[in-house]
């Protein structure tokens, strides 16, 4: 009885007790690849049902010396190639890091020196930021 308890104690303390066998690490083992479908082949390459969105854009910009401003207009044409509708789009705009009330101006951090390059985020000599004047969305049902 005592030897059985000792063996049970030994087995329960063993790191391999209760664990499954080591998995096959052979380079010739069967790989658990996903089942092929219309979107992806068994190797993961794009299939016949794979699609990507298309976006064409045009940017027109001009520099206004008097006020030290840059004025720009951007037109994006988004072609939905998805079988699903796009009820909304996300538009990402960079923050106004040099605007007078920005976090960057409040931190007043020294320039960052990295591998011989200096990155000055202090905004010294520049007070401004991005002003978004208008956003328009023109929907079209025409297929492209």
* Cα–Cα distance for residue pair 42/46, rounded to 1 Å: 10
The band of 143, judged by pLDDT with boundaries at 50, 70 and 90, is: very low
* Cα–Cα distance for residue pair 6/14, rounded to 1 Å: 12
SS3 12: helix
pTM above 0.85, yes or no: no
pLDDT digits (tens, 9 = 90+) for 36-60: 999 888 888 888 888 888 999 899 9
107 is written with which tokens? 């931190």
Strands (E), 4-143: 54-64, 69-79, 112-114, 117-119
Alpha helix ranges (H) inside 46-107: 103-107
DSSP secondary structure code for residue 13 in this structure: H
SS3 113: strand
Question: Helices then strands (H, E): number in the chain?
Answer: 2, 4
Cβ count near 40 (within 10 Å):
16
pLDDT digits (tens, 9 = 90+) for 72-106: 888 888 888 888 888 888 877 766 777 777 777 77
Asked if 39 and 47 count as a contact pair (C-beta separation under 8 A), the reply is: yes
Percent of the chain with pLDDT over 90: 3
């Amino acid at each position: 009885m005592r030897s059985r308890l000792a063996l049970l104690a030994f087995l329960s303390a063993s790191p391999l007790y209760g664990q499954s066998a080591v998995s096959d690490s052979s380079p010739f083992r069967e790989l658990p690849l996903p089942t092929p479908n219309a979107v992806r082949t068994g190797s993961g390459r794009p299939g016949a049902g794979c699609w990507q969105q298309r976006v064409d854009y045009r940017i027109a910009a001009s520099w206004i010396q008097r006020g030290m401003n840059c004025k720009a207009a951007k037109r994006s044409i988004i072609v939905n190639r998805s079988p699903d509708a796009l009820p909304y789009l996300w538009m990402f705009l960079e923050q106004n890091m040099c605007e007078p009330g920005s976090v960057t101006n409040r931190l007043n951090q020294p320039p960052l020196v990295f591998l011989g390059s200096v990155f000055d985020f202090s905004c010294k000599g520049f007070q401004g930021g991005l002003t978004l004047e208008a956003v328009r969305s023109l929907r079209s049902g025409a297929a492209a």
